[in-house]
């Protein structure tokens, strides 16, 4: 009976330990919330995340770390977190490049899912595709989707991402496009418009990408 009473009142022998665990859990939750808000802010303004150095000990360590440092001047949660790092009480502080990349990927995935959900609600969409090479001479295809917003009636255009292309023949590009559309969960038969450059592999009337996709939609 005494044990049952203590459980109900939260006064068991390990109550203080459990309280400390809950406080620590809440601390890391608040740190992650602030990191995520920082990632969203920088991404919305197309700002770079990292500088030439990724350490907390130096000035100008990149926008993420510098913004956290600045916020810590007024934010007790971040100020305590940086103090823990400085005192070497923690080593995994979640401010490094790996967690930044993971947060960026998670935010990007959520944004893409939101876009695709809106397109699925609208049902019909158009695709705009173009190929370009990056600084390392790798061929990349940009994927842009357009649709009419179901609520506002406005035309919305969304950049979905880059796709690495090994061959730029019409056949290979068509396969790549169809695979990407399928991966996004869209039906190519609901595609109602295509936009390409003037390359023969794209616009060719007999065997270009445009013609091949039109034939699928017949």
What pTM did the predictor assign?
Answer: 0.74
pLDDT at 170: 85
Angle of helix 97-122 versus helix 15-44 axis, rounded to 10: 70
* Domain boundaries along the sequence of the chain: 2-95, 116-216
Report the C-alpha gap between 47 and 63 in whole angstroms.
8
pLDDT at 10: 65
pLDDT at 12: 67
SS3 218: coil
Q: How far is CA 106 from CA 28, 102, 211, 217, in A?
A: 18, 6, 36, 34
Residues 6+ apart with CB under 8 A from 42: 48, 49, 63, 64, 67
Q: How far is CA 150 from CA 117, 124, 125, 192, in A?
A: 11, 11, 12, 16
Chain centroid to Cα 103, Å, comes to 7
pLDDT at 18: 76
Q: How far is CA 82 from CA 2, 55, 66, 99, in A?
A: 43, 12, 12, 16
pLDDT at 30: 93
Residue stretches of the chain with pLDDT short of 70: 7, 10-13, 15, 54, 203-204, 218
Q: Closest Cα to residue 37, out of 74, 68, 69, 82?
A: 68
**HSE of 76, CA atoms in CB hemisphere, 13 A:** 0
Q: Which two tokens stand for residue 142?
A: 């940009």
pLDDT at 95: 86
- pLDDT tens, residue by residue, 159-179: 998 888 888 888 888 898 999
SS3 216: helix
SS3 121: helix
């Amino acid at each position: 009976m005494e044990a049952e009473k203590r459980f109900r009142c939260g006064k068991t022998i390990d109550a203080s330990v459990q309280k400390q665990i809950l406080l620590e859990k809440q601390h890391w939750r608040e740190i992650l919330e602030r990191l995520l808000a920082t990632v969203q802010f920088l991404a919305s303004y197309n700002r770079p995340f990292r500088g030439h150095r990724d350490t907390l000990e130096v000035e100008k360590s990149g926008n993420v770390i510098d913004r956290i440092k600045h916020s810590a001047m007024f934010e007790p949660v971040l100020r305590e977190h940086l103090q823990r790092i400085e005192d070497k009480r923690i080593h995994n502080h979640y401010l490094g490049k790996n967690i930044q990349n993971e947060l960026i990927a998670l935010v990007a995935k959520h944004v893409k899912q939101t876009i695709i959900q809106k397109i699925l609600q609208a049902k019909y969409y158009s695709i705009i595709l173009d190929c370009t090479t990056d600084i390392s001479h790798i061929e990349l295809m940009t994927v842009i989707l357009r649709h009419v917003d179901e609520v506002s009636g406005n035309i919305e255009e969304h950049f979905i991402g880059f796709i690495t292309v090994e061959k730029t023949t019409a056949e290979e590009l068509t396969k790549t496009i169809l695979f990407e559309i399928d991966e996004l969960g869209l039906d190519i038969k609901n595609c109602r418009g295509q936009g390409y450059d003037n390359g023969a592999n794209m616009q060719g009337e007999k065997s270009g990408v445009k013609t091949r996709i039109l034939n699928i939609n017949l």
